[in-house]
Amino acid sequence: MGGRFLLTLALFSVLLSRCQVGCSGVFELKLQEFVNKKGLLSNRNCCRGGGPGGGLQQCDCKTFFRVCLKHYQASVSPEPPCTYGSAITPVLGANSFSVPDGAGGADPAFSNPIRFPFGFTWPGTFSLIIEALHTDSPDDLTTENPERLISRLATQRHLAVGEEWSQDLHSSGRTDLKYSYRFVCDEHYYGEGCSVFCRPRDDAFGHFTCGERGEKVCNPGWKGQYCTEPICLPGCDEQHGFCDKPGECKCRVGWQGRYCDECIRYPGCLHGTCQQPWQCNCQEGWGGLFCNQDLNYCTHHKPCKNGATCTNTGQGSYTCSCRPGYTGSNCEIEINECDANPCKNGGSCTDLENSYSCTCPPGFYGKNCELSAMTCADGPCFNGGRCTDNPDGGYSCRCPLGYSGFNCEKKIDYCSSSPCANGAQCVDLGNSYICQCQAGFTGRHCDDNVDDCASFPCVNGGTCQDGINDYSCTCPPGYNGKNCSTPVSRCEHNPCHNGATCHERNNRYVCECARGYGGLNCQFLLPEPPQGPVIVDFTEKYTEGQNTQFPWIAVCAGIILVLMLLLGCAAVVVCVRLRVQKRHHQPDACRSETETMNNLANCQREKDISISVIGATQIKNTNKKVDFHSDNSDKNGYKVRYPSVDYNLVHELKNEDSVKEEHSKCEAKCETYDSEAEEKSAVQLKSDTSERKRPDSVYSTSKDTKYQSVYVISEEKDECIIATEV
Q: How confident is the model at residue 699 (pLDDT cuts 50, 70, 90)?
A: very low
pLDDT for 486? 82
CB-CB contact of 233 with 249 (8 Å): yes
pLDDT of residue 106: 55
Would you call 535 helix, strand, or coil by DSSP? strand
- Cβ contact 477:543 at 8 Å: yes
Burial call 644-682: b when 16+ CB within 10 Å, e when fewer: eeebebeeeeeeeeebeebbeebeebbeebeeebeeebe
- Distance between CA 698 and CA 695 in Å, rounded? 9
What span, in angstroms and rounded, lies between the C-alpha atoms of 368 and 134? 40
Average of per-residue pLDDT across 124-134? 92
709 pLDDT more than 50: no
Beta strands (DSSP E) in 254-342 are: 255-256, 262-263, 272-273, 281-282, 286-287, 293-294, 309-314, 317-321, 326-327, 333-334
pLDDT at 537 over 60: no
Note the pLDDT tens digit of each residue in 61-71: 899 999 999 99
Q: All domains of the chain, ordered by start, with CATH?
A: 22-190 (2.60.40.3510), 501-550 (no CATH), 554-717 (no CATH)
**pLDDT at position 716, please?**
41
Per the prediction, the chain carries an average pLDDT of 74
The yes-or-no verdict on residue 704 having pLDDT over 60 is: no
- Does pTM top 0.75 for this prediction? no
Strand partners, 103: 111
- Say which range, 116-120, 227-231, 466-470, 722-726, has the weakest mean pLDDT: 722-726
10 Å CB burial of residue 519 (0-12, 13-18, 19+) is buried
- Cα-flanking dihedrals φ and ψ of residue 214, to 5°? 95, 5
User: So what's the pLDDT on residue 316?
Assistant: 66
| pLDDT at residue 711 greater than cutoff 70 | no
For the cut 80, the answer to whether the pLDDT of residue 720 exceeds it is no
pLDDT at 686: 39
Per-residue model confidence as pLDDT tens digits over 547-604: 445 567 888 888 999 999 999 999 999 999 898 887 765 444 444 344 333 333 333 3
Phi-psi region of 478 (alpha: psi -120 to 50; beta: other; left: phi over 0): left
What average pLDDT does this structure show over 671-696?
40
* Cα end-to-end distance, the chain, whole Å: 158
Query: DSSP letter at 547?
Result: P
* Three-state secondary structure call for residue 352: strand
- Helix and strand counts by DSSP (H, E) for the chain: 7, 51
Mean pLDDT score, 691-707: 38
Alpha helices in 446-494 (DSSP H): none
Cα 122 to Cα 119: distance, rounded to the nearest angstrom: 9
Q: How far apart, in whole angstroms, are the C-alpha atoms of residue 284 and residue 302? A: 14
CB-CB neighbours of 726 under 10 Å:
16
Confidence of residue 453 (pLDDT cuts 50, 70, 90): very high
pLDDT digits (tens, 9 = 90+) for 269-324: 888 878 877 888 888 777 788 888 777 788 778 889 888 899 887 666 788 999 88
Q: What is the pLDDT of residue 7?
A: 38
CB 62 within 8 A of CB 76: no
Strand-strand pairing, 206-210 and 216-218? antiparallel
504: closest CA among 542, 463, 473? 542
More confident residue, 592 or 262: 262
Mean pLDDT of 125-152: 89
pLDDT band at 674, cuts 50/70/90?
A: very low
The half-sphere exposure of 430 on its side-chain side, counting CA atoms within 13 A, is: 2
Cα–Cα dist 155/73, whole Å? 9
Predicted confidence at residue 630, as pLDDT, reads: 38
Tens digits of residue pLDDT in 332-352:
888 888 888 889 888 899 888
C-alpha–C-alpha distance, residues 175 and 41, integer Å: 10
CA distance 451 to 468: 9
Looking at residue 643, its pLDDT comes to 40
| Distance, CA of 208 to CA of 679 (rounded, Å) | 164
Residues in the chain: 726
pLDDT at 392: 73
Task: Give φ, ψ of 273 to 5 degrees.
Answer: -120, 175
